[in-house]
Amino acid sequence: MPMKDPKSLQAFRKEIDKIDDEIIRLLNARARHVIEIGKLKKAQDSQANLHTPAREAEILDRLCKNNPGPFPTDGLRAVYREIMSGSLALEGPLQVAYLGPSATFTHLACIQKFGSSAQYVPLTSIKDVFNEVERGRSDFGVVPIENSTEGVVNHTLDMFIDSNLLIYGEVQQEVSHHLLSKADSLGGIKKIYSHPHAIAQCRNWLETNLPGVPVSEVHSTARAAEIAAEDPTTAAIASELAGQIYGLKVLKARIEDNINNYTRFLVLSQKPAERTGKDKTSIMLSVKDKVGALYELLRPFASSGVNLTKIESRPSRRKAWEYIFFIDCEGHVDEDRVKKALTELKSRCLFLKILGSYPAHS
């Protein structure tokens, strides 16, 4: 319907322009303080991580708590994620290695964690990501660790056995698969490409809606999108970002069989994260093969009041039928209750390695 009072509309727009100008002024004032903070950090420790998740969590929690509306809290988080990303870039270049290529869900997890102003380095394997951070060529690395549908990424777990890197943070990324193509309809699709995990997560939808259409595996959802961009008779199962990058149409959105489909990613660093008060600790250990070994493993956590959020086992690769356990628990390694549990546990293990204490995803 046409506006009854166009002058009123114009007046509102002028007020918005004034507010936007004030926001720009304040953002630049904020940026100048950030630059000074960066100088102080470097003066105190030239090798310090400029990214401080504890401070970022404190800022976001305070702003969201004090937000009176009507601006949505989720929107506020997204806006400040980019403000902090841009501010961090002013303190110094932040380089993040990840399991590529671009437009994969790992790439999306990176952006969720570090914003769009970081410098991202796509690599072809999880091992390469570990190596990039270990050699100091990247400040952080981001790798997948588990999917709510498909389970753990064993290669990531195995890398921790010999690596000295620490877990610096975690990201939980919702995985929404879209059917992307240059075709105009489902009837024009003769072949489908995607990563094996994505295919498995969409199996029922494919069998119901595109029965008989061959599905081929490729090493990433982004590669599938690249193939679909070259041939209008093919389709890719990939992210919305991949569709935007490769110029594909979304023939069908959210085709995953389980709508509660999430992948958890780990942030790797040479240095530990600061304590935030809402932390998790990850450890790996090996125990003697004997009756009651698992019970002995769990008892120190129960007696110390520490909640376990995950326990996973892997063959040790050093001795037949010997297993390494990976455990996530609530709390920070500096907390008395966690320290007590780990001290008691260490006396019962063949070896115990702390992989890091880090802010839990919120």
Q: Which residue among the candidates 114, 160, 265, 325 is catalytic per the annotation?
A: 265
**Does the annotation count 104 as an active-site position?**
no
Instruction: Point out the catalytic residue in the list 104, 263, 276, 281.
Output: 263
| Separation CA 176–CA 43 (nearest Å) | 44
Using the CB atoms, write b or e for 2-33: b if 16+ within 10 Å. Answer: eeeeeeeeeeeeeeeeeeeeeeeeeeeeebee
Lookup: tokens for 89: 């870039």
**Rounded to an integer, what distance in angstroms lies between the CA atom of residue 189 and that of residue 311?**
42
Catalytic annotation on 309?
A: no
**Residues that are catalytic:** 263, 265
